[in-house]
Amino acid sequence: MATSVNCSFNDNSRTVCVMDASTHLGSALVHLLLHQGYTVHATFQHHDAGEVQSVCSDEKLRVFYADPFDYHSITNALKGCCGLFYCFQPPSDHSTYDEFMAEVEARAAHNVLEACAQTDTMEKVVFTSSVTAVIWNEGRNTASSDLDEKNWSDINFCKKYKLWHALAKTLAEKTAWALAMDRDINMVTINGGLLMTPDLTITNPYLKGAAEMYEDGVFVTVDLRFMAEAHICVFEDISSYGRYLCFNHVINCSHDANKLAQMLLPSSDSSPPQSSEETRIYQQRISNRKLSTLMMEFQNDQILTN
């Protein structure tokens, strides 16, 4: 049976940090964690009063400026925290994904994990990665089994086809794991599918290679609430380990593909073309069983203890 973390470390046991709280996921995590009674250190890369005021009504919330390239600002935000939820936010002066962004994201991951290693109260890190760090390699459509947490995207393949989002997520996650293992940091990663947010557009870097993902049966999406709940589940459950693929919808038929296309391109007045492919369903070739099992056991345990 799954067991909840009781965080019996000391008075800091219910204090966690969310970095970067300005993202959709970060904001959702802040609100859920506050609702569950945590004291939250919410970090922002910019001194934006509007962002701060939007989440600043709870007495258990503390707001910090923390730049992932400013080590001291990170350690200041982490002080007294037993946990960190980390999600990379591209810097405002370089918000597009390219080959350079891969180096930037990897360097940020290194800084954050090093700061965690120097934080005495830190017990667990939940590192947000992506399904794109799992699915891209030369033999992806000839594999005999479904893709899962054991699979990694190939760095050279990502560079060859300019899959910069996949390259950045793969390098950053590998950097984080290397440091976590070297410094004995308790870390788990959530490898999320395409995050369904109100401002999602066709320019989202996750969507590079969408046609291939669709045909390979690995085009997956995740709702914001489910994504946030998965993060808290793997943090609180002491049995969690390694990587977790996080998605709750697979786009593998023309109906769902057309529905997503209309959402991404709402200004398009033209109807999608009709063809013999309309009824085709591609076999799902990616599994989230590990996370589904953990969340089910965790939820059952929560019911029994309440």
Whether 79 is catalytic: no
Q: Give the span between the Cα atoms of 106 and 175, in whole angstroms.
A: 6
Check: CB of residue 186 under 8 Å from CB of residue 123. yes
> Which candidate in 169, 174, 259, 290 is catalytic?
169
- What string of H, E and C letters represents the secondary structure of 88-145? CCCCCCCCCCCHHHHHHHHHHHHHHHHHHHCCCCCCEEEEEEEHHHCCCCCCCCCCCC
Q: Give the span between the Cα atoms of 99 and 168, in whole angstroms.
A: 8
**Catalytic positions:** 169
